[in-house]
Amino acid sequence: MSKKISQKKQVNLTNNETNKQRTTYCVWVAYDGSNFFGWAQQEGLRTIEGTIIKTLARTFNVSIIIHGSSRTDKGVHAYDQVFTFSLPVMIDVEKMAVILNQHFREAIKIKKVKIVANDYNLRDHVKNKEYRYYINCGAFDPFKLNYQYQYGQKLSVHKLKKVAKLFIGQHYFYNFSGLKKDDKHNPNRVINKIKVYRKKKIVIITMKAKGFVRYQVRYLVAAMLDYCQNKVTLDEINNYLSPKQKDKYQYPKAFASGLFLYKTKLIK
């Protein structure tokens, strides 16, 4: 698929009066979030969603609205984000993937495209999401500064697993989130699985759930590390999971560097 062909598509989408039926595309995308202000579109800021919308609108010469499966924070990366958008024309999914990848820069990579029903609600089809947090316990690595938390000291996997057990299941995560008192999002979430393991000098924490509230993963990782550093006890962490606890978690959330939206599993 040449660039000339993709530009021809750009002209035809608005001029072809016979294209009354819209086609909805489900797109799997990976991105390096280092130089973006997160996923969600924000006025005057470079975001993943904003960049995708502008690129699609310019490519196809039509107004575009996209719906993402997740909202990642500033500096957070994704191996497997998903979004949907519609066009007033049908294009073969393989050609669509080629066209899109021609117009995105190196930081954003289209992995797969699928056609879905026009009434397809992406959020309703998310079965679970898996986030992974990478911690470098070895020597400082400047080349991985944006992709691993440069912890630089020993870290007990045993203690991380011990505190992780507190978070598994359904809990009140308001005190481990960026939610405000007037926020309408439900702070109760169910974490299906937390896994902690080591690969040489890298400790990896994975969390799997249908959904997370804002900053939840980063606050939970922070609490796990704080416990390992004896800043907080298991009882204190457990108290923050209670609606009766009015004070939010007292220590900062973990750095965005090192966090990846690793997998988004959809209901078939």
The residue type at 199 = K
- Asked if 226 is an active-site residue, the reply is no
* Helices and strands: H and E segment counts in the chain: 6, 10
The kind and range of the H/E element at 113 are strand 108-116
State whether the Cα torsion 202-207-208-214 is positive or negative: negative
DSSP state of 221: H
Q: Which of 236, 263, 261, 265 is nearest to 251 (CA)?
A: 236
How many C-alpha atoms does 202 have within 13 Å on its Cβ side? Answer: 13
Catalytic option among 32, 73, 182, 226? 73
Describe the chain by its helix, strand, coil percentages, rounded to 5: 30, 30, 45
Neighbours of 262 (CB within 10 A): 18
Q: Are 56 and 66 in contact (CB under 8 A)?
A: yes
- 56 residue type, one letter: L
Q: How far apart are CA 59 and CA 55, in angstroms?
A: 6
Helix (H) or strand (E) holding 87, with range, is strand 77-87
Provide the residue type at 176 as one letter: F
Distance CA 185, CA 183 (A): 6
Active site amino acids: 73
